[in-house]
Amino acid sequence: MSDEHLYDKERVAFAFAVLFGFAAAYLFTKKSFGVEDAWYSVAVLGNVKTYVLVVALWIAVSAIALVILRAVLPKKCLMPVDILLIAASFVAGIYLTYNAYQFLGLGARPKYLITFILYAIAIVAIYSFYKKQRFQAAKTAILVAETGYFAWLWFRSCCYQNTFVNWTFGTLYNVYHTSAYIDTISNVYYGHPFTGLESELYGHYGLFFILPMKIFGANTKTIGTVMGCVAALAFICYAMSMILSFRQFFVKFTAIAALGLYAMLDVSIYWQSFPHRLIFPAIAMFVMTLTGKLQKFKWWTSVICLLISAAAFVWNFETGVLSAIALGVVFAMPLMKGKKRFVVLPAGVIINVAVSACLALLVLNIYNRTHGGETLGFSALLGYAKNAEFVTRQSAPIGIGNSEYIHLIIMCMVCALWSLWKMLWHEEVNAKSMFALGVTICGMGIATYYINDCGGGPSIIIPGFILIASVGASGIDTSHDIYSMFKKAFCVYCCTIIFIYGALGRNFRKDVEGIEENGARRYYEFQAWADEVNASIAPDTVGGGYGTTALFLAMGRDRETEDFHFSYEDVEGADHFIKFWSEDVEFEGYEVVDHFSFNGTCFGYFEKVDS
């Protein structure tokens, strides 16, 4: 279409369909939060079911509206209507942009308002003078260097080789949470079968650590290094997906920088979230983007997607489901031809999820049966999703005032509907449409899992925020029709999101330096202490409770217990055991004969008393 025309029936129909879907979803949400006893009330459904219904309603209304609007909209539109629609799009864009700007906080407003104005001017200038073919070699070199630098920062932010480090919530916080994570790794390394205990809440990822621990040593130095590599790989997948999807250098550069600055582990150690729950969604997004870029949709791409999905299920159930759904889109692509694509796409997703889950369960049962364990059922895959506390928390209502999540839904739904519109209505599949759909599935899914953990802030959903904002920011073009005006307003809004989280992550480098200054990489000190403990205790000593896993790995011993929480029943009968020390603790038939302390963390050494 030429730039002289403001009106394009097909594209305007899509824009209005998205708006109608948004209106229906918004009204349902307001109604859901306004009543207490109706079936659709958030108090009855819980937040997860409510938001699933919101998304389903948005998609359904938009799809129906698109069909109707394509049939009833006139081929030409009156100029006053054109102007009114353009004005409405910019008013909506300004409102959303201002609302998103509040994420910075009132105290930061004056300083950052000036910065944001300059940023907006830079956006306009760079987009106005953008020349696609200029300085390509230099741009590529800059993006490669930027990706490498931030991948290195993500590696450093997660590479805690000494898990007894005092950063920043204290040693006990780090010892507790790393114990919850590494216990299943230690259990698998020493051949314990899976039993469904609490240490398996985060999945069966321990199987992935067997080989590196056999090669480099069974200790937290290896585990921390692997986690650093996992974080770096996740970032590289994210960055490469953006590089392959967008044409604007400015969007690529700023989005990669914002994502790199806002690495999640800027305080203390919580591997369970970052990078544990980011790695397979990142891989899924990259596979979707790469296949869309290369236009390679063959039977072997479907097989690859199936295997990656199975590995994702083994690693972690929640993100495994999301990754399998996302990769199910690629799985279905070889058969998506003609009108049957409307059936093939959902069918392919379902098949990929079901078959990959079966493959994952097969892997777990092969391991379990060869290590003296029982045959596992599908409930064994659920991990954290079957934890009663987690389920209760996810079922609790949460107010619509959670603005970060609402903004994420808006961005994701707009981009997802655009992607499906391109794929299903126009049969256009490319890197950007695949990336947009992948980010929507994984970003909204991860956010939904964590939406009731708001006490720690929205940091776990920030990658999804920045990635989906980059999709919207890349949508601007030089056309002047109504649809393009809608896109320009949405683009400014998305650029604001990128700016905000880049600004909020401005001190990340200092946080990474703080990690190192507090001894996160000084594993030799911990190993020296573990050697002293090993020389002071009996060969038959067992360990119970948090902190003992890292210690026993360093001593080259199996601690002979499986749950990271201490249970007297697990150590009862042993001649000697070690546990995290508490001065008030006493056990009948045992006495404390020694104490071992490292970095402010003390363990008691108990010996059986002869009766």
**What are the beta bridge partners of residue 592?**
606
Reduced to 3 states (helix: H, G, I; strand: E, B; else coil), residue 504 is: helix
Are residues 507 and 529 both part of a single domain? no
Out of 461, 481, 516, pick the residue that ends a domain: 516
Instruction: Show which of 494, 516, 538 is a domain's final residue.
Output: 516
Phi then psi for 57, rounded to 5 degrees?
-65, -45
433 CA to centre of own chain: 20
Structural domain contains residue 161: yes
Q: pLDDT digits over 565-599, tens only? A: 888 888 888 999 999 887 677 888 899 999 999 98
Domain boundary among 473, 492, 516: 516
- Kind plus residue range of the DSSP H or E element containing 595: strand 590-598
Q: State whether 422 and 485 are in the same domain.
A: yes
Residues 6+ apart with CB under 8 A from 174: 160, 163, 164, 165, 166, 167, 268, 269
Sign of the CA dihedral with 92 first, then 94, 97, and 103 last: negative
Q: Mean pLDDT over residues 93-103, rounded?
A: 70
Confirm whether 39 is domain-assigned: yes
The answer to whether residue 83 sits within a structural domain is no
* Domain shared by 50 and 155, yes or no: no
- Residue 140 within a domain: yes
Residues 6+ apart with CB under 8 A from 367: 188, 193, 194, 207, 373
**With the CA atoms of 388, 37, 408 and 201 taken in that order, what torsion angle do they form, in degrees rounded to the nearest 10?**
0
* pLDDT tier at 128, thresholds 50, 70, 90: low
**What's the confidence (pLDDT) of residue 455?**
45
DSSP 297-348: --HHHHHHHHHHHHHHHHH-HHHHHHHHHHHHHHHHGGG--GGGHHHHHHHH
Domain match, 25 and 147 both: no
pLDDT band at 457 (very low <50, low <70, confident <90, very high): very low
CA atoms within 13 A on the CB side of 356: 32
212: preceding bond cis by omega (within 30 degrees)? no
User: Could you tell me if residue 126 is inside a domain?
Assistant: no
The reply to whether 488 and 551 lie within a common domain is no
**505 and 533 share one domain:** no
Quote the pLDDT of residue 586: 82
Burial label for 215, CB within 10 Å (0-12, 13-18, 19+), is exposed
* Dist. CA 591–CA 587, nearest whole Å: 7
* Residue 395 resides in a domain: no
Q: Comparing C-alpha atoms, which of 600, 599, 582, 584 is closest to residue 544?
A: 582
Count of residues making up the chain: 611
* Whether residue 164 sits in one domain with residue 26: no
Cβ within 8 Å of residue 20, ≥6 positions away: 61, 62, 65
CA distance 545 to 199: 11
Sole residue written with tokens 């920030």: 462
Q: What confidence score (pLDDT) does residue 485 get?
A: 74
Q: Can you tell me the distance from the alpha carbon of 582 to that of 604, in angstroms, rounded to the nearest whole number?
A: 8
What is the enclosing helix (H) or strand (E) of 179? Answer: helix 171-189
Residue at 394 is within a domain: no
Q: Which H helix or E strand runs over 227?
A: helix 220-245
- Report d(CA 122, CA 64) in Å as an integer: 39
- Residues 174 and 265: their CA atoms lie apart, in Å, by 12
Identify the weakest region by mean pLDDT among 141-150, 190-199, 224-233, 246-255: 190-199
User: CA 440 to CA 155: how far, in whole Å?
Assistant: 25
Report whether pLDDT(504) > 50.
yes
Range of the domain at 558: 525-608
Based on the fold, state whether residues 364 and 239 are members of the same structural domain. Answer: yes
Q: What b/e sequence results for 558-573 when a residue is b if at least 16 CB atoms lie within 10 Å of its CB, and e otherwise? A: bbbbbbbbbeeebbee
222 and 364 share one domain = yes
Reply yes or no on whether the pLDDT at 139 is more than 90.
no
Q: How many domains does the chain have?
A: 3
Indicate whether 50 and 199 sit together in one domain: no
> Is pLDDT above 90 for 205?
yes
- Structural domain includes residue 389: no
Q: What is the pTM of this model?
A: 0.88
Instruction: Look at residue 500 and tell me whether its pLDDT is greater than 60.
Output: yes
425 and 568 belong to one structural domain: no
Quick one: 539 and 427 in the same domain? no
Q: How far apart are CA 1 and CA 482, in angstroms?
A: 12
Q: What is the pLDDT of residues 23-67, one digit of tens each?
A: 888 888 888 877 778 888 877 887 777 878 888 899 999 999 998
Mean pLDDT of the chain: 83
